[in-house]
Structure 1
Amino acid sequence: MNPIFKHGPSPQHRLVLVLFCSVALIFFDHKMNSFESARGFLQSMVSPLQYLATAPKQMMNWAAENVVTRRQLIDDNEQYKINELVFHEQALQLDIIKRENERLRALLASPLRGDAKKMVAEILAVDSDPYTHQVVINRGANDGVFEGQAVIDDEGIVGQILHVGTTSSRVLLITDVTHAVPVRISRNGVRLIASGVGVLGALSHNHVPHSTDIRVDDLLVTSGLGGKFPEGYPVAKVTSVLQDESRAFSQIQSEPVAKIDRLRYVLLLWPEQVNGQQSKTTKVSDKKANSK
């Protein structure tokens, strides 16, 4: 049913008018930037609404990130504590290895003759008897160790082999009351006997005449007499010289240069004649093998 009265333009005219206005607005906006300020004003008006619309999502994201970050921090903190303990334990091991390397380097740098056969040994046990000064090392008959063999550290004479086992040996230290070392004063060559007194840091020298030229801080080295110890290795330093005319002899005390109370590694020495005998035996055995 058609209306009796028509009001306003027809829909077709309205469409054409709207299209014309749209084209005109697009043209003026593109060519002349006429609506730039209006667009900015409208954008400012719409911005609060956009913030309000995105606020719930941002709050949810912030809450999720905060919870995850806190849990991650707790886990990382626990891991860091574990790593700190591991690194601390490794640092202790490295420090122990470093000290052992320093001992071995110092031991190998001891005043040895180039042609002397030597072998590094480790201390396995220390005799608990306070009246005997003996230690056990991890070298024995399988390594060619023999009784009476000289034992030194990086400073000087330690003692000699007392008993030899298959894989271990017992060392008699120079501070034992039953041990004595023929020595001489490095300064003037005067010969003495250094005897143990049962104290780790002391040696005594008996039957020394009052006229003997000996002073405090004189270095005592092996004299080579007796064939037990090679000549010229440090033994002790003189710490006390008491010349009492009421006594028949001077009272001389010295201190071992070797670290008797801190031994960890020692060196075993072979005399040159033993090396010579071994080399001769080797040559003879080689000749026999070749003849066969």
Structure 2
Amino acid sequence: MNPLFIQGYSPSFRVFVFVTVSLVLMTVDHRLHYLKSVRSHLSVVVYPLQYLVDFPVKASHWLSQGFGSRLQLLSENSSLREENLRLRFTLQKLQDLKNENERLRSLLGATTQFTEKVLVAEVLAVDLDPFTRRMLIDKGSEQGVFDGQPLLDARGVMGQIVNVGPFSSTLMLITDPNHALPVQVERSGLRTIAVGMGAVNRLELLYLPNNSDIVVGDKLVTSGLGGQFPPGYPVGEVVEVNPDIARPYAQVQAIPHALLERNREVLLIWNIEPDPVIVKDHHPGTSTQ
């Protein structure tokens, strides 16, 4: 009986045929390169498929690399900002130390001009009352500070102590309205009183007649009268002289030499009184002025 359908070759035979043909083609191509052009054309046809298959892998690699690079850049940027802040802070501290060193050098240089005992003190606080000019310093009775003690900076007279505690004291500046300082015009020897006006850098000179020998630019020094301040210390410079015909006294103002609002260190001084000078009276019945 004839079968209705002719059965094909078995799968095993087909595999054998395909393997044999493949081996023959590979051998021929390897030795004679007959299939080189065919392989080249097939690569062109297959390339888009290869690109599509490989694209997700490459895209994932690019994204991960780009994200990683961005995170690294952000981290480096943050580290650089922190380092920059640290360096700027260090630079500021170095500049502050340099400025402090210069101030102390200037202040200590000024002490070589004094024959009195001196002590450097640091300003702790400034009174914010607009009608007074006072500061708190870090030296008190434990360091020998006393009421009325004069204070200076490297440029001139600053004021005097008005309140003493064990480890701190209050300094009244010469610009305080309650402060009065006997001074002398260095050029002419004219004596007057310099009182504070409450302003940061202004002094008023009292009781100077309209015809007084004083002009703008005259230097003022301590006169030594009153016994509070030693004589000869710089106080200020005359900046305004206005004779007032309606009054017996001229209106005269000066600016202090000391940097009253900028000092962080001040100089306490102990006045060493000179030996008294004995004047012999050759005319009995008369008094020596």
TM-score band by shorter chain is 0.5 to 0.7
Counting only pairs closer than 5 Å after superposition, residues 248-259 of structure 1 correspond to structure 2 as 248-259=248-259
Q: Is residue 201 of structure 1 aligned with residue 201 of structure 2?
A: yes
Do the aligned partners of 1:134 and 1:172 also contact (CA within 8 Å) in 2? Answer: yes
Do the aligned partners of 1:158 and 1:260 also contact (CA within 8 Å) in 2? Answer: yes
Q: Is residue 102 of structure 1 aligned with residue 109 of structure 2?
A: no
The aligned counterpart of 1:186 is 186
> Residues of 2 paired with 1:110 and 1:213: CA distance?
30
The aligned counterpart of 1:244 is 244
188-197 vs 166-175, greater mean Cα deviation: 188-197
SS at match of 1:195: strand
Query: What amino acid sits opposite 1:102 in the alignment?
Result: E
Which digits, 9 at most, give the CA deviation of each residue in 1:84-112, with x for residues without a partner? 22111111111222222222222222265
The aligned counterpart of 1:156 is 156
Which digits, 9 at most, give the CA deviation of each residue in 1:137-165, with x for residues without a partner? 00001111011111011111000010110
Q: 1:73/1:245 Cα in 2 relative to 1: closer, same or farther (>3 Å)? A: closer
SS at match of 1:86: helix
SS at match of 1:99: helix
**Paired residue total:** 213
Q: 1:119/1:127 Cα in 2 relative to 1: closer, same or farther (>3 Å)? A: same
Q: 1:75/1:246 Cα in 2 relative to 1: closer, same or farther (>3 Å)? A: closer
The aligned counterpart of 1:37 is none
Q: TM-score, normalised by structure 2?
A: 0.67
Give 5+ residue unaligned stretches, structure 2: 1-60, 276-289
Q: TM-score, normalised by structure 1?
A: 0.66
Q: 1:79/1:246 Cα in 2 relative to 1: closer, same or farther (>3 Å)? A: closer
The aligned counterpart of 1:130 is 130
Q: Is residue 273 of structure 1 aligned with residue 273 of structure 2?
A: yes
Q: 1:77/1:132 Cα in 2 relative to 1: closer, same or farther (>3 Å)? A: closer
Question: Once the 2 structures are TM-superposed, how far is the Cα of residue 166 of structure 1 from its aligned partner?
Answer: 0.2
> Residues of 2 paired with 1:114 and 1:176: CA distance?
25
> Residues of 2 paired with 1:238 and 1:161: CA distance?
25
SS at match of 1:262: coil
Q: 1:213/1:82 Cα in 2 relative to 1: closer, same or farther (>3 Å)? A: same
Which digits, 9 at most, give the CA deviation of each residue in 1:163-200, with x for residues without a partner? 11000000111111111111101112111111111112
Q: 1:130/1:74 Cα in 2 relative to 1: closer, same or farther (>3 Å)? A: closer
Do the aligned partners of 1:111 and 1:233 also contact (CA within 8 Å) in 2? Answer: no
Question: Once the 2 structures are TM-superposed, how far is the Cα of residue 73 of structure 1 from its aligned partner?
Answer: 6.5
Which digits, 9 at most, give the CA deviation of each residue in 1:113-139, with x for residues without a partner? 343211111111111222221111000
188-197 vs 100-109, greater mean Cα deviation: 100-109
Counting only pairs closer than 5 Å after superposition, residues 60-79 of structure 1 correspond to structure 2 as 76-79=76-79
Do the aligned partners of 2:151 and 2:268 also contact (CA within 8 Å) in 1? Answer: yes
Counting only pairs closer than 5 Å after superposition, residues 217-236 of structure 1 correspond to structure 2 as 217-236=217-236
Query: What amino acid sits opposite 1:169 in the alignment?
Result: S
Query: What amino acid sits opposite 2:134 in the alignment?
Result: Q
Instruction: Select the structure that is richer in helix.
Output: 1
Query: What amino acid sits opposite 1:254 in the alignment?
Result: A
- Identical positions, percent: 43
SS at match of 1:198: coil
